[in-house]
Structure 1
Amino acid sequence: MTRSVFVINAGSSSLKYQLVDLDSGAALASGLIERIGETTGEAKHELPGRPKVVEQRVIPDHEKAFGWVLRQLDQHGPALDEAGIIGIGHRVVQGGARFDRAVLIDDDVAQQIDDLAPLAPLHNPANLQGIRSARATFMGYPHVAVFDTAFHLTIPPAAHRYAIEARIAAEHRVRKYGFHGTSHQYVSRRMAELLGRPLDEVNTIVLHLGNGASATAVRGGRSIETSMGMTPLAGLVMGTRSGDVDPGVIFHLHRVAGLSVDEIDLLLNKRSGLLGMTGTGDMRDVLQSAEAGIPRAVEALEVVGHRLRGTVGAYLAHLGRTDAIAFTAGIGENAAKVREVALAGLEGLGIVLDPERNAGRGERRISADGSAIEVWVVPTNEELEIARQVAALVDAG
């Protein structure tokens, strides 16, 4: 009998969903609804091997969006009563220091997600909006919250504490939380499978490189350090985010450039990173320009590589022994040049790429046979990771 989990990722004006078969890990159906609440919107529903359903329509709110999803499942399949749905999984960005694992959603959990909104003002309110609409739509099913931050709550205090006044840090919940946790967890588990070893014996550096980018040092299946911090702004260079900057830059921009706090927030989150350095936030465009010798693109790629190499080097030290490095997400999986610059010059640390393997496609080892540390490309599957966590919780009763 089929067993599946309906996985939901709700944004402020979007709804992404996937019906995941627990046995095969395949998507039985998936879809994306965009521009919810706007004057125009687009909704897509897709089943394997069948034409994609695409509609341009006004979708006023998330409840109406879920109504559209139900109609597509009823008209095009798979039918809910035949899909064997055992639960509804919700991606929630910020679980703070409260949630170190997936939890069944009740009114109290929903309230706690709301209480954590100041730590993720762009994400938690949208996640909660999706939860409330889904609970009204999918009644009779257990609803489970899976938190991006949960995987990183194993990071020790030496890594998650900031050296500011302890009273202020505690009062305002200022600490490193980390993000992309479901991706890092999935990839580190998969890496152990690929090496043919128990998870608790494998140390991996996971590089999740997409428009948002983060790195995590995983020791025996547990996160011990990660590059994002209290917010997703910290760490590596990203599409539009700056990554790490001297905190004094913020005061300088306020006092000397006259920028307000909101303007600096916008600058660092939306107008920096690749976009700020090159005029485009798309790594594909940056790589094409760098190959053509355009100076600002060449420099931006060097900055990206420098930050990645420094992070890898630090995590090698934190882990003590590293078995593998895994590249994942859109850039990590598809940009051979980025993988090359990320590990350039690290041969003395036991990391040697094979150029031919690096230029290939799909899940594979890309390190040379003589490399002491294996390097892999491992496609991430956050929806499957969420589905598995939902199943584990539901099956446990």
Structure 2
Amino acid sequence: MTHAGGPTGSVLALNCGSSTLKAALVDLPSGTRRVTVLVESRGSGPARLAVHRGAEATEDTIDAGDHAAMVAAVVGVLTVGERRDLLAVAHRLVHGGAQVRDHAVVDDAVRDALEDAAGLAPLHVPAALRALDAARAALPDVPHVATLDTAYHRELPEVAFRYAVPEAWYADLGVRRYGFHGLSHQSVADQVAGRLGRPLASLRLVTLHLGNGCSAAAVRDGVSVDTTMGFTPLEGLVMGTRSGDIDAGALAYVAGRTGAGVAELVEVLNHESGLLGLSGLSHDVRELTEAEAEGSLPAALALDVYCYRAAKAVAALVVPLGGLDALVLTGGVGEHSARVRSGVVGLLTHLGLTLDDELNAVHGLAVGGVPGRISPPGNPSVWAIPTDEELVMARAAALLVG
């Protein structure tokens, strides 16, 4: 993480989703956001364009049906001076595959290697590459940097990243655990160290990113030493529409009974499972929480399984840490759902984790307290902290080109 005295200038961070593009123009070394932009596709109709520049906020609808048009909209928001002063453009890539293991300045060779990894995260990487190509064409005189969600987990020990499969699968095909959400895990690990007033290298943390995608990471000595996602973002926790862990034998059984192929089954596990599959109602925690309050047993079951699997993962990740100083929850659900936070932490009292119910209810925004803390004084502590992936991306890019 680069602090005051590091590279100076502005970095445009592009965080690409399947139907959205979030952008932030970040000044360094301060980390101040000069401009933030959200382009959100609404299917076949016009896209929503929301721009914040300082205290000014505007919203409009534009014709941006693909990621190239979204990038053009973002670049069009920037002034001539802002484009001229760009130090770099940082692009979030969920997966770099076996060839691109760390953040990298994009040239044609790196671009080709990222293309080879697209099949490992088909929900994310192809869209990000379309945005990358459009941005390189629109801003050809600026270095472009691929900032990888997998990079934060590149120092996983072999005992954590190896699967118990034939050696040839690993040596010849690269089948191993990579881990994801690294930009988010790094962001909140850095932030909680500052709020605790302790060096990150002295802390044993579990960071829990909960949203439509979910993962947990064990952070020791400032690096990730284990995590729940694996070869693809499908492994691990129950997610919005993703199953998380499932016995591979179940897939063989379903294939035999239904005639479904591997691709079809993986599609179901990615898009029709998780909270949506369990509840039969929704993948959205907000909607399920409302349904639970109205007496829906399927909604209650889905939320309970979601919380149970997350809590079980937290407890397991204490093993590589050898203890626990803090649990940090982030992501759309981790930051905003008091119901989920209490559901997770309530299963972890044997680790000394408890919640302050009043702080949890206001998501750690207590007047006069330390922002983000949702547990009583003492150790270990529990936190709800908004992630800032774009700041991590900007600082990583600046380090490479600055």
**TM-score, with length taken from structure 1:** 0.91
Aligned to 2:140: 139
Aligned to 1:369: 377
Kept in 2: contact 1:204–1:323 (CA 8 A): yes
Aligned to 2:285: 283
Kept in 1: contact 2:335–2:386 (CA 8 A): yes
Between 1:334-343 and 1:26-35, the stretch displaced more is 26-35
Structure 1 gap ranges (5+): none
Aligned to 2:351: 349
**Please, which of 328, 331, 344 is the counterpart of residue 329 of structure 1?**
331
Aligned to 2:114: 113
Aligned to 2:36: 30
User: Aligned letter for 2:309?
Assistant: R
Shift of 1:103: 1.4
Aligned to 2:386: 379
Change beyond 3 A, Cα 1:45–1:343? closer
Aligned to 1:80: 83
- Equivalences, count: 388
Aligned to 1:95: 96
Shift of 1:213: 0.7
Q: Deviations over 1:70-112 (max 9, x none)?
A: 33324xx87433xx32111011111123334321111111111
Kept in 2: contact 1:40–1:56 (CA 8 A): no
**TM-score, with length taken from structure 2:** 0.90
Q: Deviations over 1:16-36 (max 9, x none)?
A: 322112244232222233449
Kept in 1: contact 2:118–2:126 (CA 8 A): yes
Query: What is the rounded CA distance, in whole Å, between the counterparts of 2:88 and 2:344 in structure 1?
Result: 39
Kept in 2: contact 1:184–1:206 (CA 8 A): yes
Shift of 1:252: 1.1
Change beyond 3 A, Cα 1:52–1:249? same
Aligned to 1:49: 55
Shift of 1:380: 0.3
The SS at the match of 1:145 is strand
Query: What is the rounded CA distance, in whole Å, between the counterparts of 1:176 and 1:158 in structure 2?
Result: 10
User: Aligned letter for 2:45?
Assistant: T
Shift of 1:63: 4.1
Shift of 1:14: 4.2
Kept in 2: contact 1:188–1:206 (CA 8 A): yes
Change beyond 3 A, Cα 1:351–1:78? farther
Kept in 2: contact 1:29–1:45 (CA 8 A): no
User: Aligned letter for 1:7?
Assistant: A
Q: CA RMSD in A?
A: 2.2
* Equivalent residues in 2 for 1:1-397, closer than 5 Å: 3-11=9-17, 14-35=20-41, 40-46=45-51, 47-57=53-63, 59=64, 61-74=66-79, 79-81=82-84, 84-278=85-279, 279-361=281-363, 362=365, 363-370=371-378, 372-395=379-402
Kept in 1: contact 2:68–2:130 (CA 8 A): no
Structure 2 gap ranges (5+): 1-6, 366-370
Identical counterparts, % of pairs:
41
Between 1:261-270 and 1:196-205, the stretch displaced more is 261-270
Between 1:145-154 and 1:5-14, the stretch displaced more is 5-14
Shift of 1:122: 3.2
The SS at the match of 1:52 is strand
The SS at the match of 2:235 is coil
Q: Deviations over 1:26-68 (max 9, x none)?
A: 32222233449x75331414123224131232x3654444333
User: Aligned letter for 1:296?
Assistant: P
Query: What is the rounded CA distance, in whole Å, between the counterparts of 1:54 and 1:225 in structure 2?
Result: 43
Query: What is the rounded CA distance, in whole Å, between the counterparts of 2:65 and 2:240 in structure 1?
Result: 30
The SS at the match of 1:25 is coil
Q: Deviations over 1:318-339 (max 9, x none)?
A: 2102111001111101111111
Shift of 1:11: 4.6
Shift of 1:211: 0.8
Shift of 1:283: 0.2
The SS at the match of 1:118 is helix
Query: What is the rounded CA distance, in whole Å, between the counterparts of 1:344 and 1:374 in structure 2?
Result: 13
Shift of 1:220: 1.3
Query: What is the rounded CA distance, in whole Å, between the counterparts of 2:221 and 2:232 in structure 1?
Result: 25
